[in-house]
Amino acid sequence: MKEAIIIKNKIRTYRFLKGELTQQDLANLVQVSRQTIIAIENFQYSPSLELAFKLSIIFECSLDELFYVDKEIPSIK
Amino acid sequence: MSYQSKKSLYSIVSTTLMLVIYSFIFYSRYQNGFYDNMSIVRFWSIFILLLIPLSVLTTILSEVFIGIALGIKKTLSQNKDDLVEVIDERDRLIELKVSKISQHLFVFGFSVALLSQYFELSLHYFFIIIIVFGFLSEVFEHVLNIHYREKGIR
């Protein structure tokens, strides 16, 4: 059976590094609801590529610094 | 519970109440012999044709009521940002998934209704099954909406 990959993130850490940026402020910056930020932080929702890029621009980091997967994904040879 | 979840919960209550009250009034009129000289198809056509504008009116009134309640809450609340209704990609994804599932439920109900005709049951069964599944699919849509908002969606 196909196993779902859970995309995790370090948004909580980066919010802290940005001077304890609130979830609401971050939501306003990327134009989503606070509930969406909460869902992303709790790994309940994987954002679209567009939203992921917006977040990485705000936190001034690359996508793979912000998002990661615990499991190794088999590479195509 | 988020604003959208509360809205769904309110919609479940208002839809259920509206259908129960409407069915009760219609059934009372039926018991009093108001529709005695009508064919089954005409009787149920009247029921459904009146139900459609009534459900639209209920939805509009619900929206107005929720809007007023939100306005009052915004005035009283300290954290006003949390009460702003923002429709984003997660909302659209939930809406898409939920409407697809509820549509499947309604199609299943319609198939059951057709099956009742295959087994030569009364036409009443056909219309009752369609109305019940129409109602169930709407309630299920709101329940799933709450579920995905609270438990997450992938």
Chain B: give the shortest CA distance to residue A4, in Å: 9
Chain B: give the shortest CA distance to residue A30, in Å: 10
Would you state the structure tokens that stand for residue A29, as one six-digit string? 């910056």
**pLDDT tens for residues B16-50?**
999 999 999 999 988 888 887 888 899 999 999 99
Residue of B nearest to A23 (CA): B82
**Residue in B143, B136, B138 with CA at minimum distance from that of residue B58:** B138
pLDDT of residue B47: 92
Q: What are the DSSP E strand ranges found in B16-106?
A: none
Q: Which of B4, B84, B151 sits opposite A44 (nearest CB)?
A: B151
Q: Taking a C-beta distance cutoff of 8 angstroms, is the pair B98, B144 a contact?
A: yes
**Residue in A72, A53, A48, A73 with CA at minimum distance from that of residue A64:** A53
Distance CA B53, CA B45 (A): 13
Higher pLDDT, B135 or B33: B135
**pTM score, whole prediction:** 0.82
pLDDT of residue A72: 66
Q: What are the DSSP E strand ranges found in B1-153?
A: none
Residues A57-77, mean pLDDT to the nearest whole number = 83
Distance CA A56, CA A70 (A): 19
pLDDT band at B77 (very low <50, low <70, confident <90, very high): confident
DSSP 8-state secondary structure symbol assigned to residue B123: H
Q: Which residues, in sequence order, are CB contacts of A71 under 8 Å at separation 6+?
A: A5
Is residue A7 helix, strand or coil? strand
Best A35, A40, A54 residue to mutate vs chain B (most B CBs within 10 Å): A35
Is residue A9 helix, strand or coil? strand
Percentage of residues in chain B with pLDDT exceeding 70? 95
Residues B68-97, mean pLDDT to the nearest whole number = 80
pLDDT of residue B138: 93
Residue of A nearest to B79 (CA): A24
Please state whether beta strands A7-9 and A67-69 pair in parallel, antiparallel, or not at all (unpaired): antiparallel
pLDDT of residue B76: 81
pLDDT of residue B16: 94
Does residue B85 have a pLDDT over 80? no
pLDDT of residue B46: 92
pLDDT of residue B123: 92
Q: Taking a C-beta distance cutoff of 8 angstroms, is the pair B133, B108 a contact?
A: yes
Distance CA B62, CA B13 (A): 10
Asked whether this complex has an ipTM greater than 0.85, the answer is: no
A9 pairs with which residues across the strands?
A: A67
Residues A12-32, mean pLDDT to the nearest whole number = 93
**pLDDT tens for residues B89-117?**
999 999 999 999 999 999 999 999 999 99
Window 17-46 of B: residues touching A by CB (8 A cutoff) are none
Is residue A67 helix, strand or coil? strand
pLDDT of residue B136: 95
* First and final C-alpha spacing in chain A: 22
DSSP 8-state secondary structure symbol assigned to residue A70: S
Burial grade of B72 (CB within 10 A; 0-12, 13-18, 19 or more): exposed
DSSP 8-state secondary structure symbol assigned to residue A71: S
Ranking A1-10, A31-40, B15-24, B96-105 by mean pLDDT, the lowest is A1-10
